[in-house]
């Protein structure tokens, strides 16, 4: 076994690999850019090597620097994580030539399956179901339109070396095919150094289901069941789960056998994923193979009990898989939510900056994976038992609970140079209903301040009736949130509960004030009972809700005056904290409560309100306060996010039409095109190409 390995990556996956290596008694070496000098993975590793400047093309993507770091530190092997160099054939080959072990597939497997065009040809030869399309590189946007017409719209335009939703567009007409080809090629060139693009038929109402495979150098290859990855936004996965609520055991077996056949055709070693698009009748087609560890691998680890990172390390060290296909269990249900630094209420634009507060929910599921030797041979997948321990030797506290994989700490920075992931939140339940309930509660307790996050959006998805019933496909988000995501899209089953929490929080502050020492007996501060909760509304249209508070043992809050609902709140939170837990009418809850001046902000199940607690007279006077409208910025093009202004497509005096391209901002490895909202004339440029922009910074002004 290796004594020291280097992790050629950053963020949560680097921390994840370090965790398993430490469990195995293997020393670790981290690499980092100047932007990551204070990152969590750097402090966790036994050693760390600086690669260079912040841009990944000058640090994490420079193979020479990675290999030099291995030699300088004596690392015997390198784990590439995912992204960056993980599917780079040349890097894997060079590492092997230098006598360093690549913890991943052999370079010839990456060459065969990492290239999307070559992999489709190979899949055909291996008798794997494939989607109709044009599998050779396309040289021009005009040729792309011609091919798309021949296949028939809609089509998917995809970079051969793409991944993670980058270099991918869906086109429904000639215009979208022409523009999509150019955008895909540009993104692919910038992200992967390979601008080849191909086209295939886009299966409408598809589901994205992938099979996890694992192979060794002794010819053993197995599949570790499937993952449902259909909840996607712009082709990037948002929620993943295992198993799938859609496919049958027969389909699962057929997909798994085809995935193994494909992996066997390229003599695959290590962990990999074969992705399929599945139609409504459970007909499935090969999409691509990712020759690396997937972001969503934890859900597979939950239902099988196997540590995939450990298996990758053992396989790379020459060990044989110690289990057969029939020995792989399937227990319970796992769900993963990707917690990203993006603002869902501003079209999911990246949000960079400092994590002023970062308090993930408590982890109740430990990384105490079952050792492969303790797996019991089973002919069929097993269900979660009701006894305190499972047949695989894991206690329920280790099996069913919450897990957080992250690469950040409170006070850390979310830089603009890399992807937007803050953490992966994973839950494991006894069944899908239990897993959804666990995830909703875990999201309620996930505190992030300083940058925006997609937690409200995740909460809305988990509560959506279609998601709960399992009736969805890859177009789910585009269909149900076609106009973007708004606060109104997060319904709460009991909005008055949030008002009650505001009142309960205010009562807590009054109790502290009333407890000040030095007051004469019988002359202490008396806490009032009747208040008005003023809930902030748009454009000053606040809502006034009368409440009555009574404390006889538990706190009782009557919302809405006589005849309103009554809430018995037993609270358990401290001053200065944000996360609040307790029970309401006998049911436990977790919420987030914080004060900012006179306003109290409460968030629960993705819904957030801001409110003031006033006396009846103060509330009456508050109604008379004029509303101050924000400044009119309609004549300015504002930067919707922090980022690099890579292009300005217009000049002063130029007339533009609605929808015309104005500027391009690059942030977190994504190209964002800003277009004109209406016809007009550019009067002045306020920012220069190459400038780093802040959110809402003016870029240009219209006449």
Distances (CA, A) of 116 to 107, 149, 169, 587: 15, 21, 15, 51
How do 661-667 and 670-675 pair as beta strands?
antiparallel
Which class for 597: exposed (0-12), middle (13-18), buried (19 or more C-beta within 10 A)? exposed
Q: % helix / strand / coil in the chain, to the nearest 5?
A: 30, 30, 40
User: Which helix (H) or strand (E) is 265 found in, with range?
Assistant: helix 249-265
3-state secondary structure of 141: helix
Q: d(Cα 610, Cα 469) in Å, to the nearest integer?
A: 32
Is residue 288 part of the annotated active site? The answer reads: yes
Alpha-carbon gap, residue 13 to 19, rounded angstroms: 10
Residue 306 · residue 372 · CB < 8 Å: yes
Distance (Å, whole) CA 4 – CA 273: 26
* Residues 210-229 as b or e (16 or more Cβ within 10 Å = b): bbbbbbbbeebbbbbbbbbb
Nearest Cα to Cα of residue 100 among 216, 5, 29, 25: 5
What does the block give as tokens for 426?
């994973």
d(CA 420, CA 398): 29
Name the maximum alpha-carbon separation found in the chain. Answer: 90
- The Cα–Cα gap between 379 and 330 comes to 11
Q: Rounded distance, CA 155 to CA 262, Å?
A: 25
Run of H or E residues at 639: none
Which pairing describes strands 554-559 and 543-552: parallel, antiparallel, or unpaired? antiparallel
Q: Which listed residue (288, 310, 336, 594) is catalytic?
A: 288
**Would you tell me how many other CB atoms lie within 10 Å of the CB of residue 395?**
12
Tokens in use for 680?
Answer: 């007009």
Bridge-based pairing of strands 207-215 and 197-201 is: unpaired
Residue 177 is given by DSSP the state H
Q: Which residues are catalytic?
A: 288
């Amino acid at each position: 076994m290796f004594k020291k390995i280097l992790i050629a990556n950053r963020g949560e996956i680097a921390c994840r690999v370090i965790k398993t290596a430490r469990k195995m008694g293997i020393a670790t070496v981290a690499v980092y850019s100047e932007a990551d000098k204070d990152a969590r993975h750097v402090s966790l590793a036994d050693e760390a090597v600086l690669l260079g400047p912040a841009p990944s093309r000058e640090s994490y993507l420079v193979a020479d620097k990675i290999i030099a770091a291995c030699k300088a530190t004596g690392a015997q092997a390198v784990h590439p994580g995912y992204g960056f160099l993980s599917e780079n054939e040349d890097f894997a080959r060079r590492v092997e030539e230098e006598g360093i072990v690549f913890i991943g597939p052999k370079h010839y497997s990456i060459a065969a399956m990492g290239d999307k065009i070559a992999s489709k040809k190979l899949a055909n030869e291996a008798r794997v179901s494939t989607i109709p399309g044009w599998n050779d590189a396309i040289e021009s946007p005009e040729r792309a339109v011609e091919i798309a017409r021949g296949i028939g719209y809609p089509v998917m335009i995809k970079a051969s070396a793409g991944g993670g939703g980058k270099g991918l567009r869906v086109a429904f007409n000639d215009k979208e095919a022409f523009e999509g080809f150019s955008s895909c090629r540009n993104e692919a060139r910038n992200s992967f150094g390979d601008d080849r693009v191909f086209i295939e038929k886009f299966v409408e109402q598809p589901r994205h289901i992938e099979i996890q495979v694992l192979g060794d150098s002794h010819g053993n290859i197995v599949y570790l069941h499937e993952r449902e990855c259909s909840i996607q936004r712009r082709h990037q996965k948002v929620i993943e789960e295992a198993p799938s609520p859609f496919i049958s055991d027969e389909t699962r077996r057929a997909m798994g056998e085809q995935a193994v056949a494909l992996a066997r055709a390229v003599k695959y070693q290590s962990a990999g994923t074969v992705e399929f698009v599945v139609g409504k009748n459970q007909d499935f087609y090969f999409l691509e193979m990712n020759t690396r560890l997937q972001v969503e691998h934890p859900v597979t680890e939950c239902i099988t009990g196997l540590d995939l990172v450990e298996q990758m390390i053992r396989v790379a060290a020459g060990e044989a898989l110690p289990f057969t296909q029939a020995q792989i269990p399937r227990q319970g249900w796992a769900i993963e939510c990707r917690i990203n630094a993006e603002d869902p209420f501003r079209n999911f634009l990246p949000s960079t900056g400092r994590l002023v507060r970062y308090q993930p929910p408590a982890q109740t599921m430990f990384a105490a994976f079952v050792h492969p030797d303790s797996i019991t041979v089973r002919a069929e997948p097993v269900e979660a038992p009701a006894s305190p321990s499972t047949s695989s030797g894991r206690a329920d506290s280790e099996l069913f609970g919450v897990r957080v994989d992250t690469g950040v700490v409170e006070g850390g920075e979310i830089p603009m140079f890399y992807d937007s992931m803050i953490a992966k939140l994973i839950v494991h339940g006894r069944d899908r209903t239990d897993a959804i309930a666990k995830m909703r509660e875990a999201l309620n307790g996930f505190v992030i301040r300083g940058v925006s996050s997609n937690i409200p959006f995740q909460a809305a998805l988990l509560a959506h009736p279609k998601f709960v019933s399992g009736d969805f496909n890859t177009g789910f988000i585009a269909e149900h949130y076609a106009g973007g995501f708004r606060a109104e899209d997060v319904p709460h089953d009991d909005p008055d509960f949030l008002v009650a929490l505001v009142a309960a929080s205010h009562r807590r502050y009054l109790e502290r004030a009333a407890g000040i020492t030095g007051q004469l007996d019988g002359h202490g501060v008396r806490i009032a009972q009747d208040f008005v909760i003023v809930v902030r509304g748009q454009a000053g249209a606040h809502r006034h809700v009368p409440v009555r508070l009574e404390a006889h043992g538990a706190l009782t809050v009557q919302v809405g005056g006589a005849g309103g609902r009554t809430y018995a709140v037993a609270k358990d939170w401290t001053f200065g904290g944000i996360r609040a837990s307790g029970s309401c009418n006998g049911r436990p809850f977790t919420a987030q409560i914080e004060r900012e001046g006179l306003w109290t902000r409460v968030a629960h199940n993705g819904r957030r309100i801001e409110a003031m607690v006033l006396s009846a007279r103060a509330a009456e006077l508050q109604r008379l306060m004029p509303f101050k409208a924000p400044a009119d910025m309609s004549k300015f093009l504002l930067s919707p996010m922090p980022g690099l202004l890579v292009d300005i497509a217009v000049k002063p005096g130029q007339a533009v039409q609605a929808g015309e391209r104005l500027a391009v901002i690059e942030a977190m490895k994504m190209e964002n095109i800003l277009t004109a909202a209406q016809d007009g004339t550019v009067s002045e440029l306020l920012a220069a190409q190459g400038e780093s922009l802040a959110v809402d910074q003016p870029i240009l002004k219209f006449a």
